[in-house]
Amino acid sequence: MAAWPTLDQLKIRLDIVDDQSDDDLDDTLAAAIVATKNDVGVWDEMTDTPDESLSRAALRMAELLWIRPEPNRDNRHDPTYYRLLGGHRKAFPIS
């Protein structure tokens, strides 16, 4: 059983050593975790927990949100994020 990524893990991934941007990074990480839960589809806070793949997907999404913050960019189509999310979706959009 894994846990959602931490601020320290994100700072290591982004190679950030100072604490000046911790608040912004924490917000970015929180947004990435919410985005990952939303991409899974139906997330129940009481019963669902992330596995290693979902944890890494959230970390990848946080990295993408930090380095590519354009508001109209859809980071869900990143090949690495998409691959890490594979097999976890509970709901699919209807076309």
Q: Which two tokens stand for residue 18?
A: 């100072």
Indicate whether 76 belongs to any domain. Answer: yes
Indicate whether 80 belongs to any domain. Answer: yes
Indicate whether 2 belongs to any domain. Answer: no
User: Splitting the chain (95 residues) into consecutive groups of 10 residues, what average pLDDT does each group show?
Assistant: 92 92 94 93 88 96 88 81 83 57
Positive or negative torsion for Cα 88, 37, 7, 60: positive
Provide the pLDDT for residue 5. Answer: 97
Indicate whether 58 belongs to any domain. Answer: yes
Provide the pLDDT for residue 65. Answer: 92
Phi-psi region of 16 (alpha: psi -120 to 50; beta: other; left: phi over 0): beta
Indicate whether 22 belongs to any domain. Answer: yes
Q: Which two tokens stand for residue 22?
A: 């911790």
DSSP element (H, E) containing 23? helix 22-40
Indicate whether 1 belongs to any domain. Answer: no
Report the number of distinct structural domains present in the chain. Answer: 1
Nearest to 41 by CA among 84, 80, 75, 88: 88
Indicate whether 93 belongs to any domain. Answer: no
Task: Give the residue numbers spanning the domain of 79.
Answer: 7-85
